[in-house]
Amino acid sequence: MFSRKNRRPKTPGLLKAWQSLDEGDIPGALRQLRQGVDGGPLGEVALVVARAAGAAGFDDLHTAATALAARPEQARALHDFGYACIERGVPYLAIPALREALNRAPGSAAILRELVSAYEREGRHREAVDVLAARESELADWPDRYLLVFNAVMAGDLALARSRHALLSDPDDAMWLPAQARQRRMLDRAASAEPVSPLDLGDLRGWQYVIGGTVLGTLSPYGFDAGMAGRYAWLQDSYDQCLRGLSRLKAVLGAAGARPTSVSLLPDRSSRILGLAAAEVLQLPTVPFAPGREDTVVVAYDLNDVAGADQGPDILGGLFERAPGQVLHEHASNWTDPPVVTADSIALLHQSATAPWEGQLRADDDGNVERGAPDDRPAEEIAAEILAADPSPDEGDGEGPADPVERLTEFVTAVRGSWLQGDRAGLTSSGPVASSRFL
């Protein structure tokens, strides 16, 4: 057991985290904690977290961690520590403490819900299902059985999700009505996708549609069987890929029977460049973005870039509720840091991407890697570069499945009745299809 007189942890992984803090390396300490927190003595974990939180100025987490270091067997201290970890964006630190708290107070709905929240934020949906299902006879419909259904979907278990969804009563509290509507749409989308998509744990396009209503235009042809499953990790984008994405967008609109009358230009530079090219590909006029504009394609390069632009938060707020006939297309969507609104169509999923007109990394004559200068030509000239590119499929490393446009249009034809429904709530998880990622 942890002794208050010994102010250093003894467990090797936690001691490495402590040594990182000796060097002033808080991120390094957190990486060590991520690797070694499960199974580590909670008093020692709390000791390291208290020191890291104090150095970072997180007073709430410092207080909770200090209390847990002193009383690692107390359910209240375990719960408060877990809650503070979730609030500070380190849910992986919360899970062991909340698991132990639930063992010590098995009837606590508050602890159960915090543990489920931590599992969800870590994408550990199967574990959330398991802990809820083990207590199913005690669950309230809202939020507990709703959370069981949600996590079953996100774990890829549609049979369980459907059976438990059928048992859900309508919520008494109106605050749950939007969540109920989104869950129903998820299951409707699954029903429409099943005839043409396997919805197994490798079906990235199918599950991206089920969980967010997004049609994924292209699958990454690199590292498919090495852990990427159709997503990109680090991408230096190309004009060819930009045109390929727009060509797929045109095919998606055609298969869905969508008839937009304009392309709406967003104000950030990358989105404006891509929007100008999209207008030529779709042979539509451009208009400035306006919230609520109907029958238009809103084109974003990366919605996280839009969020950082002038008026970005207002723009994204205006896109949350979908206007009739409006389609939001995002070229490069970050799957590890998803935007606050979810696009209806995306060209590709990435963890880190650099647009072709930004300063990309390259090797000089001596083999040294350097970042090139950004292309500061007018947006219209760069859009012309996209239009002159080659949209042919990238053959990649030859290990991934074929992804012809016909397969995409077959999928869209099948799901067109459930597409473009409801709001564009942001995703909180990457869903059932796991991919490797950089930490």
User: Which CATH number goes with the domain that contains 237?
Assistant: 3.40.50
Residue 316 in any domain: the answer is: yes
pLDDT at position 153 over 90: yes
Do 225 and 365 lie in one domain? The reply is: yes
pLDDT of residue 5: 45
Residue 324 in any domain: the answer is: yes
Residue 427 in any domain: the answer is: no
Domain with residue 22: its CATH number is 1.25.40.10
pLDDT at position 363 over 50: yes
Residue that is written with structure tokens 């909670």 in the block: 42
Tally of structural domains, the chain: 2
- The stretch 224-243 carries a mean pLDDT of 95
Do 237 and 149 lie in one domain? The reply is: no
pLDDT at position 366 over 70: no
pLDDT of residue 359: 86
Residue 223 in any domain: the answer is: yes
Residue 162 in any domain: the answer is: yes
What distance in Å separates the CA atoms of residue 361 and residue 368, rounded to the nearest whole number?
A: 10
Q: What confidence tens digit (pLDDT) does each residue in 7-46 have?
A: 788 888 899 999 999 999 999 999 999 886 777 899 999 9
Do 405 and 315 lie in one domain? The reply is: yes
Residue closest to 125 by CA, chosen among 101, 149, 99: 149
Residue 6 in any domain: the answer is: no
Residue 207 in any domain: the answer is: yes
Do 174 and 237 lie in one domain? The reply is: no
pLDDT at position 408 over 90: yes
Q: What is the mean pLDDT of the chain?
A: 94
Do 266 and 295 lie in one domain? The reply is: yes
What distance in Å separates the CA atoms of residue 283 and residue 281, rounded to the nearest whole number?
A: 6
pLDDT of residue 147: 98
pLDDT of residue 80: 98
Do 276 and 389 lie in one domain? The reply is: yes
Do 399 and 309 lie in one domain? The reply is: yes
pLDDT at position 343 over 70: yes
Do 18 and 103 lie in one domain? The reply is: yes
pLDDT at position 438 over 50: yes
Residue that is written with structure tokens 């008494």 in the block: 172
The DSSP symbol for 142 reads I
- Region of 262 please: left (phi>0), alpha (psi -120 to 50) or beta: beta
Peptide bond before 72: cis, by omega within 30 degrees of 0?
no
**Predicted TM-score (pTM) of this structure:** 0.93
pLDDT band at 364 (very low <50, low <70, confident <90, very high): low
State the amino acid at position 88 in one-letter form. Answer: R
Residue 247 in any domain: the answer is: yes
Do 100 and 212 lie in one domain? The reply is: no
Instruction: Please give the span between the terminal C-alpha atoms of the chain, in angstroms, as a whole number.
Output: 31
Do 160 and 236 lie in one domain? The reply is: no
pLDDT band at 439 (very low <50, low <70, confident <90, very high): low
pLDDT of residue 229: 95
- The stretch 107-122 carries a mean pLDDT of 97
- The stretch 195-204 carries a mean pLDDT of 97
Domain edge (last residue) among 124, 149, 184: 184
- Lowest mean pLDDT, pick from 76-85, 415-424, 430-439: 430-439
- Residue 140 token pair: 């309230």
- The stretch 244-251 carries a mean pLDDT of 98
- The stretch 104-128 carries a mean pLDDT of 97
pLDDT at position 362 over 80: no
Q: What confidence tens digit (pLDDT) does each residue in 165-184 have?
A: 999 999 999 999 999 999 99
Do 142 and 263 lie in one domain? The reply is: no
What distance in Å separates the CA atoms of residue 113 and residue 227, rounded to the nearest whole number?
A: 31
Q: Which domain holds residue 165?
A: 12-184
Residue percentage of the chain with pLDDT more than 70:
97
pLDDT at position 232 over 80: yes
Do 249 and 162 lie in one domain? The reply is: no
